[in-house]
Structure 1
Amino acid sequence: MGVKGLQYFMDSCCPEACVTVYLREMARQQGCSSTADKTSPTLVVDGMACLRRWYSCKDWVCGGQWREYMDVLKRWVEAFTSAGIRLVFFFDGVVEEQKRQVWVKRRRRVNGEISKMFRHMKAYGEQPGRELFCLPSGLATFTCFALRSLGQEVFCSVQEADYEIASYARQHGCMAILSQDSDFIIYDSAPYLSVAELQIDSLTTVMYDRQTLCRTIGLTVTQLPLLACLLGNDVVSEEQMQHIRNNAMTTYRTNNPTPHSGAPQGQKVLAVAHLVSSLWGGEEKETELIPQSLNLSAPHRELLKRGVRSYLLPGQEAFQRGDISALPSAFEKHVSPEILKACREKHVATEGFMVYSVVCQGVIECSNTLEDEENTELLPQALVYKPCRQRIYGLLLLHGRDGSSVDLPAVREWFVYPGNPLKEPDMVHPVPISLPCDQPSLDLLWFGTGPEVSTLRLMSFLSIFDCQEFSDLSGGIEDSLLAALCLVTYIVLQVQTFSQEDVDAYLSQAVCLRLKSPDELQQIKLPVLSSRAVQLGSLYVRGLSNLLGANCASGCPLPIAALMPWHSFDGRLFHSKYLLAHSGAEKTVLLDSDPSCLSLFLRLREKLTEACRKRGRVLQSRPYAPEQGHSIAPGPRYRERHTGGSENWKKRGETTGGHRHGGGWRERGEASGDPSENDSSERLWQREDHFNPHSHSYGHDGGAQNTRRPQIQSRGRSYHNRGRYRPAPRWSQPPAPGT
């Protein structure tokens, strides 16, 4: 969520409520005040608000520098734990239906930014600057697992994440909440700290003090929810209360000819605050959510009540939200009570993926992916993985059925991809998996024991990707390579424009990655960026999410760690392999002149080729040239190091901009403008509006400088270096030596 204009007001018009704090001293004070409680001072971290801060890696368009990202997370966690601060992380696990249109609006906006990114890459052959920054696909999903692997406590929400964060912090007496969301000023919970202002080396940041804010604007803490709803948030839109604010502004300007704040934004908050304060008489208690003195239509009054209730935490009045655990599950008649319980528990503990959304909610969504809407040859990932998802749904929902189509369940999919207007969800029906035996019971797959069940789990997993013959590789190669082989094979079977060079790029990077350190991966030089390779990188990472969902549905035949991108994918390495493969490099060069890597690569490629041949899919060589204007061959050092002097792509006579093979997916009728595909995993949906990439400094922009690049004006306003006054609380001064 987020309150319109409130963050700006506090930063610009209420500096006394913006207090610089030293977290080490704050934690020490917290520990001293709760001697009976032996737990460490706890900081509740809004994981979604931190993603842009955490992902500081140089490359982001190529699909993610996942090993480097893991190192960043490890150092970040260690900075707090070394100070004696316990961290508890929360991530969004659902999109509440009342906020669906807000989610859709944001997704459409990001689609426009992604289009600009691809136009920039095709024009200049380089990564755009941070003004067009977009998180790598699946970052939120995989960050949950990354933090768990670092020994951290991580929760995935079953309601609005802000609400669960505020509730947890209040119920457990936590030290503070770290986020970048003005809703945490409204919740009567732990102090709200800014992640945008966080200095990780010194562990200092800014605390937004709600008590000081209330004194400044003349309200009580219990009146803040109504203020938030009248200003506008994700429950009550800014437009719906425009008439109320207009009247409030008129009254405020009449009574304050020389207003406290000259800026219209500041005046708006003060005007609405004065209105809220005037709604209750001096002796009148605040017994109603919405005072009768506020003249509203019945629908608007009910809307405001719903908005105010969204801020009431457990124990605060009788108007709080209902018990989410009591809500019926979407497909409870298709699964046992034990499965329903396991789905919820795995979801909350971030031990599973997709199964809760499908079984308990009947809806999944997927946020934006780096896909070029102008490239009609490559299917969007939502369409590529739809058959896979249908089999996952089949495994989860169709066991025990007699084949009848009566009362067949359908999952609502909200997947973002070019051409989907997101006006309504796609209703996607499950498809049974193909096994020699009957479709297995989900209870058997999840709770059964014995070698027969282990074999059944693996075969169920492989059948989702139509790769049953790869079962003989289990135990013979690393699990991460088996997963990569299944994924690449599946993509080849689904995308007819995939070439031998694409397969070689995918497999060679998976094989070579095992021997690369994070430092070596960062040293890889890319002579040019290919927009097609960028899309293929995102396609692969989205595929890992589907592998994860299939593994969870099948009872986890593979270790979850094997499906994590830091074990099978690096965007920079993949991009370099893609350029090499499409420039005709020898296989020894593609495999870093390592005989063992070459042998393993050839083995995997042979298995893939044979599996495809059995299904009538014959791979062909189709080298793609870089986009128009970027036909310069890699430099001498790159050729010497990576291509062994092989001819560059322009000398080979390829069509600039890549080949066209029989029309794109839109022309072939594989998707229409009708909404029919959608995703689930990533913040599952990033909170960009609460953490504006244009408002903060994120370090190196990651793209080569090019003086021909048009100047793109940065939007938003920086919080930094305004020289605002920050009074210090008792913990805001550095501790004395020896304390």
Structure 2
Amino acid sequence: MGVRGLQGFVKSTCPHVCTVVNLKEMAEHHLNRHPDCTPTIVVDAMCCLRYWYTPESWICGGQWQEYYASLRDFVKTFASVGIKLIFFFDGMVEQNKREEWVKRRLKNNREISKIFHYIKSRREQPGRNMFFIPSGLAIFTRFALKALGQETLCSLQEADYEVASYGLQHNCLGILGEDTDYLIYDTCPYFSISDLCLESLDTVMLCREKLCESLGLHVADLPLLACLLGNDIIPEGMFESFRYKCLSSYTSSKENFDKKGNVILAVSDYISKVLHLHQGEKKLEEMLPLGPNKALFFKGVASYLLPGQKSPWFFQKSKSVTMLDKQEISMSSDPESKREVPICTEPESKQEVLTCADPDSKEKLPICADPILKEEVPICADPEPKQEVPKCADSESKKEVLMCIDPKSKKEVPMCVDAESNQEILMYIDPEPKQGIPICTHPVINQKLSVGTDPELNLEASMCVYPEVTQEDPMDMGPEIKEQVTMVSDPEILKIAQMHHVHAESYLVYNIMSSGEIECSNTLEDELDQALPSQAFIYRPVRQRVYSILLGGCQNGASATYPVVKEWFVYPGNPLRHPDLVRPLQMTIPGGMPSLKILWLNEEPAVQAQRLDIFLSCFNLSSSREELQAVESPLRALCCLLIYLFIQVDTLCLEDLYAFIAQALCLQGKSTAQLINLQLEYINPRAVQLGSLLVRGLTTLALVNSACGFPWEMNEFMPWNVFDGKLFHQKYLQSEKGYAVEVLLEQNRSWLTKFHNLKAVVCKACMKENRRIVGQTHWNSHHTGRWGRQSSSSHRMSSAYSRSGQGHPWRDQGPGKRQYEHDQWRRY
């Protein structure tokens, strides 16, 4: 994350930039200067996950009780010295960082392959140098911190921007994380999480002023330096020749500096000695070889500008139009033309991007929204119009807007056509627009972000104007939310979904409703083990039913008329060049599917019962409602998950079921210390996959519960209540060897009764679907890395869409732009 090579450069070449500080002492000084302000540290939680995960065991699916205790200690330590913590999590992946996201996921795939190779050859967990965070760690950390009473927020754009903005606007003590972008932002001090000693609260503060002093730069030059070096927005190769030119002419190269260090020094030298010399006389694009990458470069620099900040490197009357991803992008910041600043959109959507008209030619150009801010798209043209489309002209901008006729209201409604799904999308227009410029709202400080330019200044922060700081409730969005282009048109429902998202109370619901796009990172899955399908495929039918709930449902089998959802899910064999396009899956609900307003807002007992009906329908478990309600919490959630898994995957056997149930029951009587001291005979690669599979199932339960209006408490799906990776692994190894149930349950008679009750519920539900769970007869281990029973039954998932005897098609699915129809995924 952050700027290429900057972290290593600072620590090796500019050690004086790193100062050891004591956070307790800094908090005391801060309180003396600001007696009415509680010392607050903004925590970039995604940077801290590796630091927080202290359990020795990580391969088996996660030591969740131990992890929860680690988080509790972390929070208590800061609270004891009067420091308040605000935790930020990434809420979505910005489109201009999707390429970097994909690159990291593919790299992780290679690391996972090495992990499984190590397990098979050594039968033990790899060392910490191969550490891979357990599946779902980020998701469950949000809920853990909320359970610990901490203020936890999910971003509506790139989290580091919101972290830096929050720190600046609220005069925070500092930012705790591990991302060199915090050296680039002109915000509060940046503290390193990796150097934090929790016992003493000593850590390293990285000072951007001292960095600038070493490089001969101003703080306002750092965004320019970051983009020339390469970051998450600017590909490293974009300015490689430019950096080589700087390096070749740099006369102060020292042999004891590495190549990266010399490059940083050379580029900094060029900025301070060449660019500064002509600054104000020449435009930046005349001094740098920006070429066709001009729009992306300016967007990258502007992305570092926080509310109210400006860059000295942007000049007025600087106009150019270039192409980025085959879309027009305006680079106008002319205050007289009052045109918009550069915005680029997602390559997948193929929508036209915000452009400006030359005042001389008066040419009308399309306008579209920034997908990150989800602003309204007033104009979008059919790429291949076959007939005339009604148009109207905006009285102020005199731009033509495509219109369609609403069959109910008989009124003309703006629309655009999604070029990828070829579906018409109606645009919601605020009936009382207060100005002709799209507005979005900052998720934390509730500022209106006006897309435009300041006539007195160069270029506004992140393509938005923050006119003032308000202290209103961050979720008091007002009418602004109506102007977003989303997958749903009800602004009230969207506001509720956004509120749950920002306050980390739900999972993925707002992403689906706002952009129709979700992602899931890597899971510990063995690409060579074809007996277990990927979790991405196993839980896809559940997600498809969730799409039906959130996007209006599929009535009378007409799912083809509803928009697809773009899924960026990592699974073996997926090159992630394009998202999987997945359609909603129809559900049959007695009395019909209620509206989201009723489902989410109505508190009548009948509606609460309906929430549970829909929840169970997502897993196709309506017929087992009575049996599941008889199971105590939190085991009923686990029961739902086990029934679904065993119906979906035929290679799961009775011994697997015993291991899952036994570990959940034994967990109730284990202390954290007992779980820490638990020792495993060896590591089994199949058990590793099963542990990750179950945890991903718990995240799926959280998604369904969020979409259905929370029929059950979220606490029921938290892994520290129902799963421990090491304990499951122990029970799996015992069950595989044929140990008696009494041994699995550690001779506890009360657990034995519960065990048989849970087993009966799962087996009965499976029998309703003609799925008989049988014992392990013989595992075929003749082929390295392949597992499977020598029975004639095949995977239930494969039976629906297998290709003429080609084995296990979930390993061969072409991810690409293929649209997945629900029929091929239906098990039932």
Q: Do the aligned partners of 1:110 and 1:368 also contact (CA within 8 Å) in 2? A: yes
Q: Secondary structure at the match of 1:364?
A: strand
- Tell me by how many angstroms 1:523 deviates: 2.6
Between the aligned partners of 2:274 and 2:739, the Cα distance in structure 1 is 75
Q: Measure, in 1, the Cα distance between the counterparts of 2:241 and 2:481.
A: 38
CA distance in 2, matches of 1:406, 1:392: 16
Report the residue type matching 2:603 in the other structure.
Answer: T
SS of equivalent residue, structure 2 residue 566 = strand
Unaligned residue ranges in structure 1 (runs of 5+): 631-654, 679-739
Q: Match of 2:462, as an amino acid?
A: R
Q: Show the counterpart of 2:238.
A: 240
Asked whether the 8 Å contact 1:377–1:660 carries over to 2, the reply is no
1:267 maps onto 2:262 in alignment: yes
- Partner of 1:293 in structure 2? 287
- Aligned residues of 2:178 and 2:192 also touching (Cα < 8 A): yes
- Pick the aligned partner of 1:195 from 193, 196, 201: 193
Is 1:46 the counterpart of 2:187? The answer is no
TM-score of the aligned structures, taking structure 1 as reference length: 0.84
What is the identity, as a one-letter code, of the residue corresponding to 1:108? L
Distance 1:366 1:448 in 2: 31
> Structure 2 matches for 1:288-687, cutoff 5 A?
290=284, 292-297=286-291, 299-317=292-310, 318-322=459-463, 328-333=484-489, 336-399=490-553, 401=555, 403-405=557-559, 407-473=561-627, 476-622=630-776, 659-660=789-790, 667-675=807-815
| Residue 512 (structure 1) shift | 2.0
The structure-2 alpha-carbon separation of the partners of 1:470 and 1:115, relative to structure 1 and needing over 3 Å to count, comes to same
Report the CA distance shift for 1:326/1:587 in structure 2 as closer, same or farther (over 3 A): same
SS at match of 2:568: strand
Does the Cα contact within 8 Å between 2:113 and 2:526 map onto a contact in 1?
A: yes
1:165 aligned to which of 163, 166, 188: 163
Shift of 1:407: 2.9
Provide the C-alpha distance between the structure 1 equivalents of 2:255 and 2:279, rounded to a whole number of angstroms.
28
Change (3 A) 1:587 1:406: closer
Does structure 1 retain, via aligned residues, the 8 Å contact 2:577–2:816?
no
Letter in 2 for 1:74: R
Aligned equivalents of 1:251, 1:587: Cα separation in 2: 74
Specify the alignment match of 2:204 in structure 1: 206
Partner letter of residue 808 of structure 2? R
Say if 1:309 and 1:261 are closer, same or farther in 2 by CA, change over 3 A: farther
- RMSD of aligned alpha carbons: 2.4
State the 1:304 CA deviation: 1.4
Counterpart amino acid of residue 111 in structure 2: E
Aligned to 1:141: 139
In structure 2, what is the Cα distance between the partners aligned to 1:568 and 1:12? 45
Following superposition, the deviation at residue 162 of structure 1 comes to: 0.7
How big is the shift at 1:281?
Answer: 4.5
Partner of 1:638: none
User: CA shift at 1:550, angstroms?
Assistant: 0.4
Instruction: Indicate if the aligned counterparts of 2:60 and 2:688 stay in contact, CA closer than 8 A.
Output: yes
CA distance in 2, matches of 1:34, 1:100: 41
> 2:4 maps to which residue?
4
2:101 corresponds to: 103
Q: Distance in 2 between matches of 1:626 and 1:543?
A: 26
Aligned residue type for 2:178 = Q
CA displacement, residues 373-415 of structure 1 (integer Å, 9 cap, x when unaligned): 1110001100110111111111111348565345311100010
The code of the aligned residue for 2:461 comes to: Q
Q: Is residue 378–residue 495 contact of structure 1 (8 Å, CA) maintained in 2?
A: yes
Judging changes above 3 Å, is the alpha-carbon distance between structure 1 residues 468 and 216 closer, same or farther for their aligned structure 2 residues? Answer: same
Letter in 2 for 1:360: S
Structure 2 counterpart of 1:736: none
SS in 2 for 1:598: helix
Contact 1:90 1:156 in 2 (8 A): yes
Indicate the structure whose relative CO is greater, using CA pairs within 8 Å and at least 6 residues apart.
1
Q: Secondary structure at the match of 2:250?
A: helix
- AA aligned to 2:508 is M
Structure 1 match to 2:87? 89
Whole-angstrom CA distance in 1 between matches of 2:714 and 2:745: 27
Q: 1:266 to 1:510 in 2, by over 3 A?
A: same
Alignment check: 8 A CA contact 1:625 1:656 kept: no
Q: Deviations over 1:446-501 (max 9, x none)?
A: 00111101110111111111112332246643221110000000001111111111
* Distance in 2 between residues matched to 1:286 and 1:49, nearest whole Å: 41
In structure 2, relative to structure 1, the CA distance for the partners of 1:118 and 1:623 (3 Å cut) is farther
Letter in 2 for 1:511: L
**Alpha-carbon distance in structure 2 between the residues aligned to 1:656 and 1:177:** 47
SS in 2 for 1:292: helix
**Residue 534 of structure 2 contacts residue 810 of structure 2 at CA under 8 Å; is this kept in 1?**
no
Distance 1:181 1:420, change over 3 A: same
CA distance in 2 between partners of 1:397 and 1:262 (Å):
56
The structure-2 alpha-carbon separation of the partners of 1:676 and 1:282, relative to structure 1 and needing over 3 Å to count, comes to closer
The equivalent position to 2:153 in structure 1, one of 139, 152, 155, is 155
Closer, same or farther: CA 475–387 of 1 in aligned 2, 3 Å:
closer
Gapped regions of structure 2 (runs ≥ 5): 311-458, 465-479, 799-805, 819-828
Q: Which one-letter code corresponds to 1:328 in the other structure? A: Q
Indicate if the aligned counterparts of 1:501 and 1:623 stay in contact, CA closer than 8 A.
Answer: no
Q: 1:285 to 1:428 in 2, by over 3 A?
A: same
Q: Flag the 1:286–1:609 CA change in 2: closer, same or farther, 3 A.
A: farther
Residue identity in the other structure for 1:266: G
Indicate the percent of aligned positions where both proteins have the same amino acid: 43
Letter of the structure 2 residue corresponding to residue 12 of structure 1:
S
- 1:676 CA drift (Å): 6.5
- Return the alpha-carbon distance in structure 2 between the equivalents of residues 263 and 327 of structure 1: 50
Relative to structure 1, the CA distance from residue 210 to residue 246 in structure 2 (aligned partners, 3 Å threshold; closer, same or farther) is same
